[in-house]
Structures are given as C-alpha cells and as structure tokens.
Amino acid sequence: MSVAIVEHLDRWSPWLDLEYMEAYRTARKHGWEFTVTNADPEVLAKAKYPALPYSASKLPLRGDRVIVLDPDAEDPLTPEDDPDVVIVGGILGDYPRRHRTREELTPRFPDAEVRHLGPYHFSIDGALRVALTVLECGVPLEEIQVVERPEIEVAPGHTVRLDCDYPSEGKPMLPEGLVEYLKEGIVDYEEAEFSARRRWRHRNDGVEGDP
C-alpha cells in the first residue's frame, strides 16, 4: 500500500488543519494510506486524520522508494515515477516563498528522491492532489490546470488573495470548508494569527522582535 506523509513543520492553526484534512481525503480517494508525522500535542489532540508524534525520518523507509516534494528540486515529478511513499512538508504557504521545504524537510531524507511540481507554489493539499494526479492518473504536470494565488470573495466588495497556487477543474480546488472559514471573521482572526506566526518564525530563525 502506498503512503502519503505530511511532515508537520509549522504552527498549528485551523487553516493548517483544513489543508491536512483535505490532503487526507485526497489520499484516500486514490487508495493511498495517509498520516501526519512530527505532530505536536495540539495536532494530536485535534486531528481527525492519522497522526504520529515523531518524524517520518524515524520510520523504516527505503530511500529509493521515497519521493520528497520540494519546489527547489532539480527534477519534476513524472508519471514514470513509482514511489511507495510521497512526503509533503506541512508548511503553510508564504508569499514570497521562503524555501522552507528545502531547508527544513528535504535534509531529513538524504536518501530519498526529490521532485518538484512545476513553477508553482502549492498548498499542502494542492501539492498532494497534483502529485497523485501525476502518479495515479498518469497526467503530466504540464497538462494540469492551475490557478495562481486565487482571490476569494468573502463579503461584498471584500476579497482575500491566497498565498498559494491551486490545481483547478474550472475553479481552484480549495480545501473543503476554507471559503466558509474565510467568511467567518477570518480578517480579524488572520491578522492576529499572522502576528503570532511571524513571532514564531522569528524565534525559530533566531531573530528577536518584529521586522
């Protein structure tokens, strides 16, 4: 049985949870097992999908049967790839991109194959959806329709522009519940969440205070 793994590398938030849940549904739709690894106590307490408290790097994985999805990889994912395991970084998107996958995820799996998904910056669930479309449906990357940083109307005259790109079937394929979440007071929440995440990033980057 093939396995999709999301290696949790970010601060938990309801938005992140929506992406994890959509990735879980996508994996199961294609007949793949799924788990979130490196899950902190908050993820473990709230998760409605399989989750493990340790890194996937501690699992007995054969490196030559593992693909890590990294936007900075040299080679694209193709239908000819045939992994047992696909690993996605559990990282909420930033614009502009901060190359966190290259720095925080890929070095954990030095024996794995590394592939990119074209010139796009996908959400967690979007990356897995594209990867499984390539691997399970045999669709080359260049044939997959993508909407770059879509704008979502959350109230009359008010839109939110997302930081990530999304595969599309006439409209961007967003996580289930994301639009409703955006409409439920997300502007105030995300201002507070953005500030909290920025402080968290700076602590982890060894920088004190706000820029």
Q: What is the pLDDT of residue 210?
A: 37
**Distances in whole angstroms, Cα of residue 109 to Cα of each of 13, 106, 182, 208, 209:** 26, 6, 35, 30, 32
Q: Which domains does the chain have, with CATH numbers?
A: 3-204 (3.40.1280)
Range 120-135 average pLDDT: 97
Q: What is the pLDDT of residue 208?
A: 43
**Distances in whole angstroms, Cα of residue 119 to Cα of each of 9, 75, 104, 113, 198:** 22, 12, 20, 18, 26
Q: What is the pLDDT of residue 176?
A: 95
Three-state SS at 56: helix
Res 211 pLDDT > 60: no
Tens-place pLDDT, residues 19-50: 999 999 999 999 999 999 999 999 999 899 99
Tens-place pLDDT, residues 133-143: 999 999 999 99
**Distances in whole angstroms, Cα of residue 75 to Cα of each of 23, 97, 105, 174, 181:** 23, 19, 17, 26, 35
Tens-place pLDDT, residues 141-196: 999 999 999 998 887 888 888 989 999 999 999 999 999 888 876 555 555 666 66
Q: What is the pLDDT of residue 154?
A: 81
204/144: higher pLDDT: 144
